[in-house]
Amino acid sequence: MLTHEEFKARNHFEQEDLLGFAYGRLIEDPPEGFCARLPVPPMLMVDRIANITADKSRGTISASRDVRLDDWFFHCHFLGDPVQPGCLGLDGVWQLLGFYCNWRGGIGAGRALGCGEVEFFGQIRPHDGVMRYEVQIKRYAELKKQGASMVIGDAQVLIDDEEIYTIKGARVGLFKGINYPDYPEKSANSRGGKMER
């Protein structure tokens, strides 16, 4: 486990760190309201963060995921023609952007807010090796009055060092008071719908 200050000072994270974060066990002294998580497997689309940096409102993330012959999506997408859904590469970028908000000190639960443009010009197959994300943080901001933080970034997704997707203007925010920790019970946050801006 890491203290919150140690977490914010780290510039790389291994698979066990990301799993610890996903399960809410990486940070031993989370600040009040710190409730963001990465998805747990099989939805977690990142195995390691090789480097994460910040420079004022900008930064970078370099991360990767090993392709596994038995990945769940190869069994259903598509029968007789297995290919990783491109939307999972985009989701991996959103996961990294949400993690970045937490790493910078943001508080709250993470939500993808959209993206400007996505282009797919390649594919990921079961016998490929390593999927890599190269993310450029264009803007990070903490909105203190709203109790939120937001990040906007562009990204390239590569398979075995060959670029296959580009993503522009991906956006993620952290928001206080929207998490639903008492699932599956009915409670104040047990129903979705439009979020206020």
Q: Give me the active site residues, please.
A: 77
* Angle (deg, nearest 10), helices 15-22 and 86-103: 80
Residues 30 and 114: their CA atoms lie apart, in Å, by 27
Give bridge partners of residue 62 from the DSSP assignment. Answer: 51, 134
Residues with Cβ within 8 Å of 120's Cβ and at least 6 positions away in sequence, in order, are 86, 164, 165
158: left (phi over 0), alpha (psi -120 to 50) or beta: beta
Residues 98 and 75: their CA atoms lie apart, in Å, by 28
Residues 185 and 175: their CA atoms lie apart, in Å, by 21
Residues 118 and 143: their CA atoms lie apart, in Å, by 27
List of long-range contacts for 73-79, beta carbons under 8 Å, 24+ apart = 74/126
